[in-house]
Amino acid sequence: MRLSRRQLLAGGAAAGLAAGGIYELVDQLGGSPSRPAAQGLTPEQHLLQGVRVVEDNGVEVVVPPLHHQLVTARVKVGESKRELTDAQRSLEDALAKLDAQFEQSPAGLGVTVAWGLPYFRRFVPKLADQHIPVDLRASKSKAKPVPVLLDSRRFPSDPEEMLLESNDVALLLRSDHLDHIAAGAKAIGDLGVFELTSIRKGFAGGGFEGGQGLPKKMAVAAQVPGSFLIPDGSELFLGFTSTQKAGLGPPKIANIEELGFSPGGYFAQGTHLATSHITEDVEAWYVNFPHQERVSTVFRPGLEVKEDVQTVPQGPNDVSDTARVHRDFATSKQIGHSAALQTVSRLAKTAVGTSGAIYGPGTAIPHRADFNTLDNPFFWSADPERDAMSDVPAAGVHFVVFNPSSDDFNRGRLAMDGVLPDGTKLPFHPRDRGQGFNSILRTTHRQNFIVPPRRHRSFPLVELLA
Ligand code: HEM
């Protein structure tokens, strides 16, 4: 069954928000797993409650929500304080209604509202300069004040045609239930304060209960080349589990203030969101990369893993530091995606958070919330030509990650390309075969956002306008 985008979207953006399209298959093919109860709302918008942890290959794995939707938009209200505070009130009312209707969990609906630099520059430039916190670590290494939110940048392995986006706002919706996502998207879409620029849809998880797993079922249904080679039960198109508990930051660690990256202030209990869309050449991955090379480029060169293993232990004792990455590169001319990233994404020594939490060496910092997609590159775009929209489903990831700051994300993303935190730049051509698995990835879009704490999630700072 091949469903063209044009058939689905006769009704434009509004229809796109509610329409499931190929993603309705997720419910037919998957079905929502049982979940522990949620415990009230956190001050953080990006944390989900009631998340289930299962064990695979003796490793604890977080079961992500089934459905995901990321909507980007521009603000379409006037710049007067009156218009902005009216918009702030109507958005906050709608979000508060969703909070009352759904618990902040996969069983309910996770809602995260994030704001881009274009919003702050247009509506509250002076207040933003005053209140967007400084990243103390980045400021020290750059010997000048560096804010926690920076414009998104290009990385060595990015293709020329990748677009750096300039949306005012992004809305992330996560749930096991497609109708909860549709309800959330409609509640915000109907407010009339936003002009949508894109709708991005996807799914995650799948095979922990046995059987084929969602990525394979969805890719096969959409006839993605090479999809029949995806291992049954795999959580991702590329065959390896990516949400093992040890590889995801503990609850508060990605908060702007938690590790002392910045005082936080107005944005304390907020975090930084980096989003990108990445296509994956599934066929090339399984046809051109033998099993051992897939393991070496995802995890670490030379790591031995049995053919049928999908969840590879990456606990604090399995972490690679810069010296290890150099040694492995010297012998193999390869870097592992995880190993290279771990030089930045894991704590080198014990840290005590401002919340009082104690984090041991090897604790992960980034909170990844990425999800698989068949969007090409988006489910819907207000500018199909600029976004190179195609009707043909394509395997990819809507990459979503929460870090304490843009600089912290940039350091990780650079390490993924072999630009290590000790300042060394391993000699790779963009998307070289040994550069992790970058050779089968193509990033098409990227943008950074700040996620305010729940108390300031709607039109941040406008209430402070004179
Ligand atoms: C299509 C794109 C990508 C895929 C399929 C992918 C897949 C994976 C997988 C399978 C792991 C290992 C999971 C584990 O050990 O638990 C991983 C780890 C990770 N990835 Fe990616 N990834 C992708 C892109 C990215 C990007 C763009 C970033 C941005 C910086 C990123 C950041 C990370 C981080 C921080 C880790 C955890 C490393 C650690 O601390 O162990 N990934 N990814």
Model confidence pLDDT, tens digit, residues 352-382:
999 999 999 999 999 999 999 999 999 999 9
pLDDT at 6 over 80: no
Token pair of 209 as six digits: 């209960």
Any ligand 1 atom below 6 A from CB of 462: no
Strands 371-373, 358-359: pairing is unpaired
pLDDT at 248 over 80: yes
Q: What is the best residue among 63, 242, 375, 410 to mutate for testing ligand 1's pocket, by most ligand atoms within 8 Å of CB?
A: 242
User: What is the pLDDT averaged over residues 1-8?
Assistant: 44
Model confidence pLDDT, tens digit, residues 106-127:
999 999 999 999 999 999 999 9
Residue-level pLDDT at 211: 80
Cα of 80 from ligand 1 centre, angstroms: 42
Q: What is the best residue among 241, 243, 368 to mutate for testing ligand 1's pocket, by most ligand atoms within 8 Å of CB?
A: 368
Model confidence pLDDT, tens digit, residues 418-457:
999 999 999 999 999 999 999 999 999 999 999 999 999 9
Answer yes or no: is 40 within a domain.
no
User: What is the pLDDT averaged over residues 55-73?
Assistant: 95
Answer yes or no: is 172 within a domain.
yes
CA dihedral 357→338→375→385, nearest 10 degrees, is: 100
DSSP 351-412: EE-TTS-EE-TT-B--EE--EEE--SS-SEESSTTTTT--SS---EEEEEEEES-HHHHHHH
User: Pick the residue with more confidence: 399 or 3?
Assistant: 399
pLDDT at 8 over 80: no
Any ligand 1 atom below 6 A from CB of 236: yes
Residue-level pLDDT at 208: 77
Residue-level pLDDT at 207: 76
pLDDT-above-70 percentage for the chain: 92
**Rounded Cα–Cα distance for residues 76 and 107 (Å):** 32
What is the value of pTM for the model shown? 0.94
Model confidence pLDDT, tens digit, residues 322-336:
999 999 999 999 999
Q: What is the best residue among 341, 347, 400, 409 to mutate for testing ligand 1's pocket, by most ligand atoms within 8 Å of CB?
A: 341
Cα of 277 from ligand 1 centre, angstroms: 14
Answer yes or no: is 66 within a domain.
yes
User: What is the pLDDT averaged over residues 52-64?
Assistant: 94
pLDDT at 187 over 90: yes
Cα of 337 from ligand 1 centre, angstroms: 7
Helix (H) / strand (E) element for 142: namely helix 136-142
Answer yes or no: is 263 within a domain.
yes
Token pair of 277 as six digits: 């869309």
Residue-level pLDDT at 9: 43
Residue-level pLDDT at 10: 45
User: SS3 of 260, please?
Assistant: coil
Model confidence pLDDT, tens digit, residues 127-147:
999 999 999 999 999 999 999
Cα of 369 from ligand 1 centre, angstroms: 10
**Rounded Cα–Cα distance for residues 138 and 251 (Å):** 23
User: What is the pLDDT averaged over residues 80-89?
Assistant: 98
Model confidence pLDDT, tens digit, residues 291-331:
999 999 999 999 999 999 999 999 999 999 999 999 999 99
pLDDT at 36 over 70: no
**Rounded Cα–Cα distance for residues 166 and 163 (Å):** 9
User: What is the pLDDT averaged over residues 95-112?
Assistant: 96
**β-sheet bridge partners, residue 174:** 68, 110
Answer yes or no: is 345 within a domain.
yes
Sign of the C-alpha dihedral computed for residues 357, 360, 366 and 368 taken in this order: negative
88 close to 459: Cβ distance less than 8 angstroms: yes
Answer yes or no: is 42 within a domain.
no
Any ligand 1 atom below 6 A from CB of 338: yes
**Rounded Cα–Cα distance for residues 257 and 341 (Å):** 22
Residue-level pLDDT at 5: 45
Model confidence pLDDT, tens digit, residues 168-182:
999 999 999 999 999
Cα of 242 from ligand 1 centre, angstroms: 7
Query: Count of domains in the chain?
Result: 1
215 close to 237: Cβ distance less than 8 angstroms: yes
Residue-level pLDDT at 1: 40
Among protein residues, the one with the nearest Cα to ligand 1's atom 25 is: 399
Phi, psi of 127 (to 5 degrees): -65, -35
Any ligand 1 atom below 6 A from CB of 367: no
Closest CA relative to residue 61, chosen from 254, 316, 241: 241
**Residues of the domain holding 405:** 5-32+48-464
Q: What string of H, E and C letters represents the secondary structure of 129-170?
A: HHHCCECHHHHHHHCCCCECCCCCCCCCCCCCCCEECCCCEE
Model confidence pLDDT, tens digit, residues 200-216:
999 998 777 778 888 99
Answer yes or no: is 231 within a domain.
yes
**Rounded Cα–Cα distance for residues 214 and 234 (Å):** 8
How would residue 7 be classed by pLDDT, with cut points 50, 70 and 90?
Answer: very low
Cα of 234 from ligand 1 centre, angstroms: 15
Answer yes or no: is 41 within a domain.
no
Sign of the C-alpha dihedral computed for residues 69, 72, 77 and 80 taken in this order: positive
Residue-level pLDDT at 425: 97
How would residue 4 be classed by pLDDT, with cut points 50, 70 and 90?
Answer: very low
User: What is the pLDDT averaged over residues 72-94?
Assistant: 97
How would residue 16 be classed by pLDDT, with cut points 50, 70 and 90?
Answer: low
The rounded mean pLDDT for the chain is: 93
Cα of 143 from ligand 1 centre, angstroms: 30
pLDDT-above-90 percentage for the chain: 88
List the Cα angle 285/323/360 in 5-degree steps: 90
Any ligand 1 atom below 6 A from CB of 442: no
